[in-house]
């Protein structure tokens, strides 16, 4: 690779994921000029420089309990991030029951619903806000099925940036309430996610805002990769055999791979876990394409897991690579299984995820049942968003409470002890 100078010493430049052209580092580059909008870029790092700034030992002594403990691995100028919202360093729980029920050697749950705006998207939004400030923008914008938008709004509010959000009409109330409370200007688009995305793209181009669209902006997956850096560090740099993640646009799974790849390049782990990409059967363009060994086709968006209801994913190349390069697998699960997963994770582990957050676990169950994951293997399941985001579906999964008059005799007539 040609090394070029940049004002961020550990950044070499960009490589197009489609045509492979290498570009020297420029402050802001979103997609490949030759390939256009589908020419998603990879960010290239100088691991020799990074290796001088971060190691297992340096991390052991780093008191920072946020994703900024990994700033040496981010595409940003070196500065303090202590005033930002505290994103990351979410708990990695060893499963106490579900892993045994599945007959697995080990199961871990990474609860990313415990981020400041309650989803994994905070990892990307934190980095996006940092980048927007670094580049001197005063407004940041994105289109989103909900979580990217609410996290963008929250992280931007903290740092004093304006936010303009485009959401499809169907965005759940919890997420909408978050964006509005964080002071974003919210445009609810009468249409599906594809139409929402296209309107945001046109508006961002016209008004010159910072573009937080995850499919297009290569910086987003670099923020999301911190989930893998944490999983590895929390497991003493011996990650599980598999890591399962729910997939919509494909940026999250791309980031999951990038984090492990970075650690592998730095010699901090000795293998990259196999990555399980999970979608709903109601909207599964990645699973379909992998099964048919064909390019992605636009699909309808028929799932209650709204965060992964993406019929035209914007980050197909990096997402497919995450699974192929890690020798992973793709699986789809029906919405009923997603609701079951929501209830089981809540009841048996005390982790409350939104439908898209627990789809990963439903996928692990399916992969164990079909023999993709073997009993002698270990798995980390990323729970990517909190269940409080979507109370309507939580109640659908959990059922109704027992109704009773305020009287002990009446209580005994109920189903309470049945």
Ligand X SMILES: *Cc1c(COP(=O)(O)O)cnc(C)c1O
Q: Which parts of this chain interact with ligand X (CB under 6 A)?
A: 119, 121, 147, 214, 246-253, 307-308, 310, 354, 356-357, 384-385
13: left (phi over 0), alpha (psi -120 to 50) or beta: left
Cβ–Cβ < 8 Å for 272, 244: no
Q: Which is nearer to Zn ion, 213 or 393 (CB)?
A: 213
Q: Which residue is nearest to ligand X (CB)?
A: 385
- 16, interface contact from Zn ion, ligand X, none, CB < 5-8 Å by kind: Zn ion
- 214, interface contact from Zn ion, ligand X, none, CB < 5-8 Å by kind: ligand X
Cβ–Cβ < 8 Å for 353, 342: yes
8-16, 45-53, 87-95, 296-304 -> range binding Zn ion (CB under 5 A): 8-16
Q: What does the block give as tokens for 402?
A: 């027992």
Closest CA to 255 of 232, 216, 221, 282: 221
Instruction: Give the β-pairing of 11-16 and 22-24.
Output: antiparallel
Strands annotated E in 76-124: 92-94, 106-111
Q: Which is nearer to ligand X, 208 or 300 (CB)?
A: 300
Q: Which is nearer to Zn ion, 21 or 139 (CB)?
A: 21
- 39, interface contact from Zn ion, ligand X, none, CB < 5-8 Å by kind: Zn ion
Q: By three-state DSSP, how is residue 331 classified?
A: strand
Tokens 């985001």 locate to 389
Cβ–Cβ < 8 Å for 200, 142: yes
Read out DSSP for 287-313? HHHHHHTS---------S-GGG--SS-
| Rg of the chain on CA atoms, in Å | 21
Q: Which is nearer to ligand X, 13 or 306 (CB)?
A: 306
| Cβ at position 84, least distance to ligand X in Å | 20
Q: Which is nearer to ligand X, 119 or 393 (CB)?
A: 119
| Cβ at position 336, least distance to ligand X in Å | 18
Residues of span 11-70 touching Zn ion by CB under 5 A: 16, 18-19, 32, 34-35, 39
| Cβ at position 356, least distance to ligand X in Å | 4
- 354, interface contact from ligand X, Zn ion, none, CB < 5-8 Å by kind: ligand X
Binding mask 224-263 for Zn ion (x = CB under 5 A): ----------------------------------------
10-18, 219-227, 240-248, 408-416 -> range binding Zn ion (CB under 5 A): 10-18
- 94, interface contact from ligand X, Zn ion, none, CB < 5-8 Å by kind: none
- 121, interface contact from ligand X, Zn ion, none, CB < 5-8 Å by kind: ligand X
Q: Which is nearer to ligand X, 235 or 251 (CB)?
A: 251
Residue 91's CB: how many other CB atoms inside 10 A? Answer: 13
Instruction: Give the β-pairing of 274-280 and 162-168.
Output: unpaired
- 119, interface contact from Zn ion, ligand X, none, CB < 5-8 Å by kind: ligand X
Read out DSSP for 187-235? EEESS-HHHHHHHHHHHHHHHT-EE--TTT-HHHHHHHTHHHHHHHHHT
Residues that bind Zn ion (CB under 5 A): 16, 18-19, 32, 34-35, 39
């Amino acid at each position: 690779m040609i090394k070029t100078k940049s004002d961020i010493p550990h950044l070499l430049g960009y490589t197009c994921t489609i045509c492979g052209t290498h570009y020297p580092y420029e402050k802001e580059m979103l997609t490949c000029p030759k390939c256009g909008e589908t020419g998603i870029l990879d960010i290239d790092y100088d691991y020799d420089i990074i290796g001088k700034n971060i190691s297992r030992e340096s991390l052991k002594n780093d008191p920072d309990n946020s994703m900024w403990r990994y700033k040496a691995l981010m595409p940003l100028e070196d500065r303090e991030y202590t005033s930002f919202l505290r994103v990351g360093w979410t708990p990695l729980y060893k499963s106490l029951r579900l892993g045994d029920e599945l007959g697995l050697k080990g199961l871990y749950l990474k609860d990313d619903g415990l981020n400041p705006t309650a989803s994994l998207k905070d990892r990307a939004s934190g980095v996006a806000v940092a980048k927007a400030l670094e580049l001197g923008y005063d407004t940041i914008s994105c289109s989103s099925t909900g979580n990217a938008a609410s996290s963008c709004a929250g992280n931007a509010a903290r740092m004093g940036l304006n936010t303009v959000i485009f959401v499809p009409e169907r965005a759940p109330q919890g997420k909408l309430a978050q964006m509005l409370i964080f002071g974003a200007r919210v445009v609810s688009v009468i249409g599906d996610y594809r139409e929402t995305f296209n309107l945001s793209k046109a508006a961002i181009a016209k008004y010159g805002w910072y573009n937080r669209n995850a499919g297009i902006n290569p910086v987003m997956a670099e923020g999301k990769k911190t989930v893998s850096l944490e999983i590895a560090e929390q497991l003493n740099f011996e990650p599980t055999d598999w890591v399962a993640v729910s997939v919509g646009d494909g940026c999250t799974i791309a980031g999951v791979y990038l984090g492990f790849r970075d650690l592998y390049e730095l010699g901090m782990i000795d293998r990259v876990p196999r990555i399980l990409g999970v979608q709903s059967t109601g909207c599964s363009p990645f699973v379909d394409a992998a099964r048919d060994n064909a390019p992605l086709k636009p699909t309808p968006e028929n799932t209650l897991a709204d965060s992964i209801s993406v019929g035209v994913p914007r980050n197909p190349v990096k997402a497919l690579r995450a699974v192929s390069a890690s020798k992973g697998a793709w699986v789809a699960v029906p919405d009923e299984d997603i609701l079951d997963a929501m209830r089981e994770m809540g009841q048996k582990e005390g982790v409350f995820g939104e439908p898209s957050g627990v789809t990963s676990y439903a996928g692990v169950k399916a992969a164990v049942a079909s023999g993709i994951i073997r009993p002698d293997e270990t798995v980390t399941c990323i729970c990517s968003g909190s269940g409080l985001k979507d109370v309507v579906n939580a109640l659908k999964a959990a059922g109704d409470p027992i109704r009773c008059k305020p009287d002990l005799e009446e209580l005994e007539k109920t189903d309470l002890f049945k």
